[in-house]
């Protein structure tokens, strides 16, 4: 495990632990089967540059992260905002170590685009390729994350991961 991944995991665990302790009621009665309650929530968006090879291409892609901390772990939702240039993406690979979305059609203004982008964030690696009128978006998640589900929300590839304390 790299030091960056270990730091990321320790940071998530520390934040979740602090919030759980700080928000715990002093006289809470235990319930037999409590439902998980969100203890901490954060949202972050980062914009990554797309490197154009030919044609008219978008300048960047935004990746939004929504993390919800629960007692015992966290749920992290990652959304790539590709609906600005790609039409109807769908998941074609959903393995724990690789998630891949493909759109076979681009919006008309980007139909000639030939471009790539490679970036990383919090131990996850991302690859975007726009080629031959289509798009391929790949997520190579950090080993600490457990794949829970994939979806397409509002035309954007979305992946939800879990992480345990």
- Domain that residue 74 falls in: 3-25+38-164
Residue 121 lies in a domain: yes
Separation between Cα atoms, residue 128 and residue 14, nearest integer Å: 32
pTM of the model: 0.74
Work out how many domains the chain is built from and give that number.
1
Residue 79 lies in a domain: yes
Concatenate the DSSP letters of all residues of 45-71 into one string. EEEEE-EEEESS--SEEEEEEEEEEET
Give me the pLDDT at residue 151, please. 95
Each residue's pLDDT expressed in tens, for the chain with a length of 165 residues: 444 444 444 445 444 443 333 344 444 444 444 445 656 899 999 999 999 999 999 999 999 999 999 888 999 999 999 999 999 999 999 999 999 999 999 999 999 999 999 998 878 999 999 999 999 999 999 989 999 999 999 999 999 999 987
Report helix, strand and coil shares of the chain as percent, to nearest 5.
15, 55, 30
Residue 57 lies in a domain: yes
Residue 140 lies in a domain: yes
Residue 118 lies in a domain: yes
Residue 30 lies in a domain: no
Torsion angle defined by CA atoms of residues 25, 20, 46 and 88, in that order, rounded to the nearest 10 degrees: -80
């Amino acid at each position: 495990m790299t030091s960056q991944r270990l730091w990321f995991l320790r940071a998530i665990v520390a934040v979740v632990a602090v919030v759980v302790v700080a928000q715990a009621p002093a006289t809470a009665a235990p319930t037999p089967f409590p439902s998980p309650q969100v203890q901490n929530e954060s949202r972050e968006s980062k914009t990554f540059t797309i490197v154009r090879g030919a044609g008219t291409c978008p300048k960047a892609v935004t990746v939004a992260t929504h993390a919800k901390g629960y007692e015992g772990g966290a749920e992290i939702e990652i959304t790539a905002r590709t609906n600005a240039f790609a039409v109807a993406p769908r998941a074609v690979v959903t393995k724990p170590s690789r998630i891949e979305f493909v759109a076979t059609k681009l919006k008309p203004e980007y139909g000639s685009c030939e471009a790539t982008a490679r970036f990383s964030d919090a131990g996850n690696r991302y690859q975007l390729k726009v080629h031959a009128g289509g798009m391929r978006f790949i997520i190579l998640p950090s080993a600490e994350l457990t794949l829970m589900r994939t979806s397409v929300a509002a035309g954007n590839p979305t992946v939800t991961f879990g992480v345990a304390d």
